[in-house]
């Protein structure tokens, strides 16, 4: 019974996948020296986002198609995805032509070939995965469609009796076709054994005189092949052609990152005022007050509180610690467990041991602060002589009086005490007191005499 439904050939072999990311193009509408696809969203280039998601979607090989003089793009590919190959499209003749520039890679047969655009940074592995799925069931080509609020500029997905039959670019569309709001996101998945023969048949007899990748749909359908459209949301597939759209993509990405942080248990009073990076890491019970900027390379451990108006980059924030309001943590900052960084404190390449406190108006650079040390208001590490940077080491339980200048290189021993207003230029042994300031002179009655003499004049 039901013989035909029982597959008895063991676990299914995963289908091999080649991903081709199109990144050529002048991007003049960005009005920038930087190539379009290297513009950043949540701290990393659009190209890097797409590379990461394509890899997560299970691509075995990745080829990035670049223009003839785009060394910068090739460098970014090597930096974020060293295993990816580069193919050069010598002339910008359209998206189908761009894919054919990766011919050598396509000829090494893969079950699935996925084409993604590097100017579509919000694409997720999940959507790419869904785009591939129908191929396993024998479909020849899958296009990714979305309902556009404003379809202007996008290709339209045309269906007959519920079946995808063609994609029409805006410039080539009839009025009736333009009324369609189900649009082409640009990404497509192909049956690997068919793609080359189909691409070779795409012509350029259209309004732009370009080889359009979406024309693959009508060619396959006319051959009697199967084409389907998979749906995505507009947020998933937002394309970036100018700075306005870059800002829109940033907005969508920030919302996504905030939602992810909230779902992971972070508390935010006003999430819309908190800016995150793609790599921000949170523990549990972290509280973020309003108006916080978190740049690249920040991790915030369990129970830490970041108070309002703080700016963090390259910082590791320990459990149950407290940072801000108005704190600036720069790369190389490590805040230990239960340590406190207060208002108007600027820290660069410095670590605070467990329970250490630096509560107000301080600069710490190239410094190591021991556990339970207390750094008074207005303390400055003088770490730079205009040429070189020098280190300051402050021992456990040391107490640095307010308004001290610590001229590096300098070491302050465990439990040592620094008198307020000192300029410390020599090492201070453990448990010693160092005072380095003008001695106070007090003249009894002087003020009264002065006042009276002035009044008489
Ligand atoms: C393309 C689609 C359109 C879709 C839209 C979605 C085509 C013909 N049109 O239009 O149906 O609605 O995306 O955003 O595919 N590129 C190259 N070489 C080229 C041309 C383009 O590498 O010769 C790259 C670009 O860098 C870009 C991508 O392909 O990453 C898309 O090209 P773009 O010119 O932005 O296409 P759209 O006009 O947006
Ligand atoms: Ca585009």
Distant-in-sequence, close-in-space partners of 64: CB < 8 Å, separation ≥ 6: 20, 21, 23, 47, 51, 73, 74, 77, 84, 85, 86, 87, 118
Q: Return residues with CB closer than 5 A to ligand 2 (ion).
A: 119, 239
Q: What ligand is nearest to the CA atom of residue 64?
A: 1
Cα–Cα distance, 377 to 357 (Å, whole number)? 10
Q: What's the whole-number mean pLDDT along residues 425-439?
A: 97
Q: Where do we find the tokens 């907005």?
A: 251
The span from the CA of 408 to the CA of 405, in Å, is 9
Instruction: State pLDDT tens for residues 176-202.
Output: 999 999 999 999 999 999 999 999 999
Report pLDDT for 4: 46
pLDDT score for 9: 57
Nearest to 126 by CA among 141, 144, 100: 144
In order of 18, 377, 416, the CA distances from 363 in angstroms are 51, 10, 20
pLDDT at 25 (0 to 100): 74
Output the CA angle 133-136-140, nearest 5 degrees.
90
Per-residue pLDDT of 30-69, as tens digits, reads 999 999 999 999 999 999 999 999 999 999 999 999 999 8
What per-residue string of b and e applies to 78-116 under the rule 16 or more CB within 10 Å gives b?
eebbeebbebebeeebbbbbbbbbbeebbeeebbbbbbb
Residue 217: pLDDT band by 50, 70, 90 thresholds?
very high
What integer pLDDT is reported at residue 1 of this predicted model?
Answer: 39
Report which ligand 1 atom has the smallest distance to the Cα of 92: 23
Q: Which two tokens stand for residue 336?
A: 């230990």
Tokens of 226: 């199967």
Q: What are phi and psi of 335, to 5 degrees?
A: -105, 120
Using the predicted structure, report yes or no on whether residue 96 has a pLDDT greater than 80.
Answer: yes
**What is the rounded distance in angstroms from the CA atom of residue 94 to the CA atom of residue 62?**
20
Per-residue pLDDT, averaged over 100-124, amounts to 97
Q: Is the CB of 94 under 6 A from ligand 1?
A: yes
Distance of CA 119 from the midpoint of ligand 2 (Å): 6
Which segments of 398-437 are extended strands (E)? 399-400, 405-407, 410-412, 417-418, 423-424, 433-434
Which of 70, 152, 307, 360 is catalytic? The answer is 360
CA–CA distance, 155 with 171 (Å, rounded to integer): 9
Ligand 2 center–CA 186 separation, angstroms: 8
**Looking at residue 10, what is its pLDDT?**
59
63 - beta bridge partners?
Answer: 20, 85
Ligand 1 within 6 A of CB of 154: yes
Q: What is the reported pLDDT for 200?
A: 97
Tell me if residue 360 is catalytic.
yes
Q: What is the pLDDT of residues 132-151, one digit of tens each?
A: 999 999 999 999 999 999 99
pLDDT of 8 strictly over 90? no
- CA 45 – ligand 2 centroid, Å: 16
pLDDT in tens, 290-343: 999 999 999 999 999 999 999 999 999 999 999 999 999 999 999 999 999 999
**Overall size of the chain counted in residues:** 457
- Which atom of ligand 1 lies nearest, measured to the CA of 208? 8
Contact 271, 258 (CB under 8 A): yes
Is there an atom of ligand 1 within 6 Å of 117 CB?
Answer: yes
- d(C-alpha 37, C-alpha 240), whole Å: 9
According to DSSP H, which parts of 301-403 are helical? none
CA proximity to 162, closest of 226, 232, 239: 226
Q: Kindly report the average pLDDT of the chain as a whole number.
A: 95
């Amino acid at each position: 019974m039901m013989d035909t439904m029982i597959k008895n050939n063991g676990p299914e072999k995963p289908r091999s996948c080649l991903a081709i990311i199109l990144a050529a193009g002048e991007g003049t509408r960005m009005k920038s020296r930087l190539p379009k696809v290297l513009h950043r969203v949540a701290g990393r280039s659009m190209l890097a986002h797409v590379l990461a998601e394509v890899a997560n979607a299970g691509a075995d090989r990745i080829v990035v198609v670049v223009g003839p003089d785009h060394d910068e793009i090739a460098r970014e590919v090597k930096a974020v995805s060293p295993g990816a190959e580069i193919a050069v499209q010598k002339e910008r003749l359209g998206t189908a032509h761009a894919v054919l520039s990766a011919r050598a890679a396509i000829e090494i047969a893969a079950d699935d070939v996925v084409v993604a655009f590097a100017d579509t940074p919000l694409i997720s592995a999940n959507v790419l995965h869904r785009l591939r799925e129908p191929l396993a069931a024998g479909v020849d080509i899958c296009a990714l469609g979305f309902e556009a609020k404003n379809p202007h500029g996008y290709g339209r997905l045309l269906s007959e009796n519920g079946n995808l039959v063609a994609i029409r670019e805006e410039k080539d569309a009839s009025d009736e076709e333009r009324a369609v709001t189900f649009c082409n996101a640009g990404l497509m998945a192909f049956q690997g054994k068919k793609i080359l023969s189909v691409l070779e048949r795409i012509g350029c007899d259209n309004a732009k005189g370009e080889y359009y990748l979406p024309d693959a749909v009508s060619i396959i359908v006319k051959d009697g092949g199967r084409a389907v459209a998979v749906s995505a949301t507009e947020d998933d597939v937002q394309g970036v052609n100018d700075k306005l759209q870059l800002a829109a993509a940033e907005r969508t990405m920030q919302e996504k990152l905030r939602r992810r942080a909230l779902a992971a248990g972070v508390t935010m009073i006003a999430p819309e005022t908190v800016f995150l990076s793609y790599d921000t890491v949170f523990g549990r019970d972290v509280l973020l007050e309003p108006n916080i900027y978190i740049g690249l390379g920040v991790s915030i451990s369990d129970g830490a509180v970041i108070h309002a108006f703080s700016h963090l980059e390259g910082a590791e924030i320990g459990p149950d610690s407290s940072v801000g309001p108005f704190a600036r943590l720069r790369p190389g900052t490590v805040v230990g467990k239960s340590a406190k960084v207060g208002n108007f404190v600027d820290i660069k390449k410095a670590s605070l041991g467990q329970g250490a406190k630096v509560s107000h108006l301080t600069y710490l650079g190239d410094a190591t602060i021991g556990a339970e040390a207390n750094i008074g208001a207005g303390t400055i590490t003088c770490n730079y002589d205009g040429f070189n940077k020098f280190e300051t080491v402050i021992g456990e339980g040391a107490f640095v009086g307010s308004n001290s200048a610590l001229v590096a290189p300098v070491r302050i021993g465990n439990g040592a005490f620094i008198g307020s207003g000192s300029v410390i230029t020599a090492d201070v042994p453990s448990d010693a007191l160092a005072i380095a300031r003008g001695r106070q002179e007090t003249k009894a009655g002087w003020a009264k005499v002065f006042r009276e003499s002035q009044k008489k004049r």
